[in-house]
Structure 1
Amino acid sequence: MKSKKELRLQMKLTIAAQGTKKPRVDEAILQNLINLSLLSEARSLAAFLAIEHEPDLKNFLQHWLRQDKQLLLPRFNSRVKAYELVPVNNLQQDLEEGHYGIWEPAAALDKIEFTELFPQAWLIPGLAFSPDGARLGRGAGYYDRLLAKVKAPIVGVCLEYQILPEIPSCRHDVKMHYLLTETRIVNCTRPQEQRW
């Protein structure tokens, strides 16, 4: 099995070779998110704003807000070098460019404390995932620290080519409960033969 460092390099090259995403891929992911029952039942959601290779969730997040549900987005706190969650009501007015050039909730907005089961669901990005729920991030561990005590369902959102047969994981790595791509939803908690 390749090391995380080797996989990160491999995935960065693969992503660069894929070029820009087509809108129909994001539309297919939108439909899979809308059809995911755990999200239709949830009233609160922690999600992300896409960078580079990540699926663009803005249409889904707008759909979520139109249903009068609570949306929380990560904001980087450079003082403690960690993400904090901030409620957002309007994607046009409540965001500003933040750490690493990533759009995030404005500094004027108050963060919110979260618990094991609040928010009720999480959407998480990554460079790659494996069917057992392992996630390959960028290497800083920000999401693993954010998710360390979360018991609510965690959904890794990616493009199909970002699912690899296996990814090495450490004790502190947080596993996804589901993977969602433009073509399928994988239940990572099921036995291997029942995941697809």
Structure 2
Amino acid sequence: MNTSVDGPGGGAAAKTAVRDRLLTERRRRPLAAQVAHAHDLAAALLATPEVARAATVACYVSSAGEPGTGPLLAALADAGRRVLLPVLLPDNDLDWAVHTGPDDLAPARYGLLQPVGPGLGPDAVATADLVLVPGLAVADDGARLGRGGGSYDRALGRVPLGTPVWVLLHPEEVGVAVPTEPHDRPVTGAATGDGVVRLPR
């Protein structure tokens, strides 16, 4: 059982070491495997009761190396779901806008793509019935390792208790010992091409 790690062995320095290892492993993944996983991930999520009953899903546009969200975003739109995508603000907080298709995306900082439609405000994430977030790994107790910018920790602080919050990962990134800090926000599940693992929060 791999839970979060805090105390002398945790913190920022430990996170950096784990991030470096996981990012190196992601860079080694063959393109064909990444494409196949993106389609498997979409199918796994669409098969869940949480997606079936969700009117609004908060998601994101994947960047290089991350589990691909392109097929998922298309599938959610085809299923009639309202999809909110993040818009990175100057202070690294997240605004949210409705996704209307791939043509509404524009380049942003850090190589991200984000919608160009009107922002709904940082609190809009609280209206989602399911929140899907990026990450590098998750521990068995729900501790999530992100990229270190803190954007999602701030956003998840606005999500009501009881709303499912799932991190999208590759299968081997689930059940990893994750260093934590006091500001870190846990997630309630991890979704991979193999399915969804529901976690304590």
> SS state of the match for residue 119, structure 2?
coil
How many aligned positions are there? 186
Map 1:97-176 onto structure 2 (within 5 A). 97-106=107-116, 109-113=117-121, 114=123, 117-151=126-160, 152-176=163-187
Percent identity over the alignment is 23
Question: Greater relative contact order: 1 or 2 (C-alpha under 8 angstroms, separation 6 or more)?
Answer: 2
Q: Distance in 1 between matches of 2:28 and 2:186?
A: 27
Give the aligned partner of residue 52 of structure 2. 40
Map 1:48-59 onto structure 2 (within 5 A). 48-59=60-71
Conservation of the 8 A alpha-carbon contact between 2:143 and 2:186: yes
Q: Distance in 1 between matches of 2:26 and 2:76?
A: 28
Ranges in structure 2 where 5+ consecutive residues have no aligned partner: none
Ranges in structure 1 where 5+ consecutive residues have no aligned partner: 191-196
Give the aligned partner of residue 193 of structure 1. none
1:94-143 alpha-carbon deviations (Å, 9 max, x no partner)? 1111111211111xx21113357411111111111122211111111111
What root-mean-square deviation, in Å, do the aligned CA atoms of Structure 1 and Structure 2 show?
1.9
Q: Distance in 2 between matches of 1:105 and 1:185?
A: 27
Q: Which has the higher helix share?
A: 2
Distance 1:21-1:104 versus aligned 2 partners, 3 A rule: farther
Give the superposition deviation at 1:18. Answer: 2.6
Conservation of the 8 A alpha-carbon contact between 1:21 and 1:53: no
- TM-score in terms of structure 2 length: 0.85
- TM-score in terms of structure 1 length: 0.87
Q: Distance in 1 between matches of 2:97 and 2:89?
A: 11
